[in-house]
Amino acid sequence: MTKEQKPSYAFLSDLITDIPPERRKLFINGLKTAIRSDLIEAAPVADTFELNFIGLDEQRKSVEKSAHQHDFAIHRTPAFETWFSKQKAIQLKRGGVHYPSKATLTEDPEAFAKAMQQFRKQHRGGRGRTKR
């Protein structure tokens, strides 16, 4: 890059609006991990913004929360664009086990075996520790 060419930057405060509120904290953690592992080029800036997100309360119920977050300047490289498009495509998976539906069982013969193994793994039927 020459001195005349200025790098194009994206700011976290602008990008976060494309992320669903229930994924925003995970997105920021993933961004910081990608920065530390040299996957993308970014740096924190002095500005902060109000981050609105969905979190859990003491009873593990979803509640809307807000926090002050340092903004990040992110260099818009092809590696960043690829990473960002993957992050936007990730669906949030909350909860424990996802069992197949009846339709899935009729279409995929291996789905039954997977569901059976998953159930046995989680419900070990008293074969745990013996009492002393």
Q: Domain ranges for the chain, please list them.
A: 9-94, 97-125
Pull the structure tokens for residue 116: 């059976």
pLDDT attached to residue 105: 80
Report pLDDT for 45: 93
- Give me the pLDDT at residue 54, please: 85
40: tokens are 């993308």
User: Mind listing the pLDDT tens digit of every residue in the chain (132 residues)?
Assistant: 555 666 689 999 999 998 888 889 989 999 999 999 999 999 999 999 999 988 888 888 888 988 999 999 999 999 999 999 888 887 666 555 566 778 778 888 788 888 888 877 776 665 555 555
Q: Counting Cβ atoms within 10 Å, is residue 117 exposed (0-12), middle (13-18) or buried (19+)? A: exposed
One-letter amino acid identity for 37? S
- CA 130 to chain centroid, in Å, comes to 39
pLDDT of residue 43: 93
What is the DSSP code (8-state) at residue 17? Answer: G
The whole-number pLDDT of residue 76 equals 93
- In angstroms, the Cα distances linking 22 to 16, 45, 93 are 11, 24, 10
Cα 28–Cα 34–Cα 35 angle in degrees, nearest 5:
90
72/103 Cα distance (integer angstroms): 45
Model confidence, pTM: 0.63
Closest residue by Cα to residue 79 from 26, 28, 42, 44: 42
